[in-house]
Amino acid sequence: MAVRDWSALAFLRLPQAPRSRSPGPATRPVARQHRTIFISDVHLGTRGCKAELLADFLACNTCETLYLIGDIIDGWALQRRWFWTPEQTRVVHEILKKVDQGTRVIYIPGNHDEFLRRYCGRTMADIEVVAEAIHETADGKRLWVLHGDVFDSVISYAKWLAHIGDRAYSVVLALNDRLHTLRRWLGLPYWSISAYLKRAVKNAVEYVSHYEEIVARAAAAKGVDGVCCGHIHHAEIRKIGTILYLNDGDWVESCTALVEDARGHLEILRWATSTPADNPAGAIASAEGEASLIPA
Ligand SMILES: [Mn+2]
Asked if residue 227 belongs to a domain, the reply is: yes
Residue 228: phi and psi, rounded to 5, are: -125, 120
Calculate how far, in angstroms, residue 110's C-alpha sits from the geometric centre of ligand 1.
Answer: 5
Q: In angstroms, rounded to a whole number, what is the distance separating the alpha carbons of residues 263 and 261?
A: 5
Determine the pLDDT at residue 3. 41
Asked if residue 71 belongs to a domain, the reply is: yes
Determine the pLDDT at residue 181. 77
Residue pair 242/271 in contact (Cβ under 8 Å)? The answer is: no
Q: Where are the beta strands (DSSP E) in the chain?
A: 32-39, 61-68, 104-107, 123-124, 127-129, 133-136, 142-145, 226-229, 236-240, 243-247, 256-260, 266-270
Determine the pLDDT at residue 162. 47
Distance of CA 57 to CAs 40, 51, 53, 220, Å? 13, 10, 6, 32
Angle at 205 between CA 199 and CA 210, to 5 degrees: 125
Determine the pLDDT at residue 13. 55
Asked if residue 109 belongs to a domain, the reply is: yes
Calculate how far, in angstroms, residue 111's C-alpha sits from the geometric centre of ligand 1.
Answer: 5
Treating both helix axes as pointing N-terminal to C-terminal, what angle do 193-222 and 166-185 enclose, rounded to 10 degrees?
Answer: 150
Calculate how far, in angstroms, residue 147's C-alpha sits from the geometric centre of ligand 1.
Answer: 7
Determine the pLDDT at residue 203. 75
Residue pair 187/181 in contact (Cβ under 8 Å)? The answer is: no
Nearest alpha carbon to residue 66 among 93, 28, 32, 40: 40
Determine the pLDDT at residue 249. 95
Calculate how far, in angstroms, residue 30's C-alpha sits from the geometric centre of ligand 1.
Answer: 32
Q: How many domains does the chain have?
A: 1
In the chain, the amino acid numbered 245 is Y
Calculate how far, in angstroms, residue 232's C-alpha sits from the geometric centre of ligand 1.
Answer: 7
Q: In angstroms, rounded to a whole number, what is the distance separating the alpha carbons of residues 219 and 226?
A: 7
In the chain, the amino acid numbered 145 is V
Calculate how far, in angstroms, residue 120's C-alpha sits from the geometric centre of ligand 1.
Answer: 17
Determine the pLDDT at residue 36. 98
Question: In which residue ranges of the chain is pLDDT below 50?
Answer: 1-4, 15-20, 23-26, 157-159, 161-162, 165-166, 274-295
Asked if residue 107 belongs to a domain, the reply is: yes
* Kind and range of the H or E run holding 200: helix 193-222
Q: Percent of the chain, pLDDT > 90?
A: 56
Calculate how far, in angstroms, residue 132's C-alpha sits from the geometric centre of ligand 1.
Answer: 14
Calculate how far, in angstroms, residue 254's C-alpha sits from the geometric centre of ligand 1.
Answer: 15
Query: Exposed, middle or buried: residue 14 (CB in 10 Å: 0-12, 13-18, 19+)?
Result: exposed
In the chain, the amino acid numbered 218 is A
Determine the pLDDT at residue 167. 54
Calculate how far, in angstroms, residue 29's C-alpha sits from the geometric centre of ligand 1.
Answer: 32
Calculate how far, in angstroms, residue 192's C-alpha sits from the geometric centre of ligand 1.
Answer: 30
Calculate how far, in angstroms, residue 149's C-alpha sits from the geometric centre of ligand 1.
Answer: 6
In the chain, the amino acid numbered 79 is Q
Determine the pLDDT at residue 93. 98
Q: Compute the residue count for the chain.
A: 296
Distance of CA 10 to CAs 14, 81, 124, 267, Å? 9, 18, 18, 37
Asked if residue 125 belongs to a domain, the reply is: yes
Determine the pLDDT at residue 186. 84
Calculate how far, in angstroms, residue 166's C-alpha sits from the geometric centre of ligand 1.
Answer: 20
Expressed as residue numbers, the domain containing 205 is 32-278
Asked if residue 11 belongs to a domain, the reply is: no
Q: How many CA atoms lie within 13 A of 134 on its CB side?
A: 9
Calculate how far, in angstroms, residue 222's C-alpha sits from the geometric centre of ligand 1.
Answer: 21
Calculate how far, in angstroms, residue 231's C-alpha sits from the geometric centre of ligand 1.
Answer: 4
Calculate how far, in angstroms, residue 123's C-alpha sits from the geometric centre of ligand 1.
Answer: 22
Calculate how far, in angstroms, residue 229's C-alpha sits from the geometric centre of ligand 1.
Answer: 10
Asked if residue 113 belongs to a domain, the reply is: yes
CATH number of the domain bearing residue 228: 3.60.21.10
Asked if residue 127 belongs to a domain, the reply is: yes
Determine the pLDDT at residue 179. 75
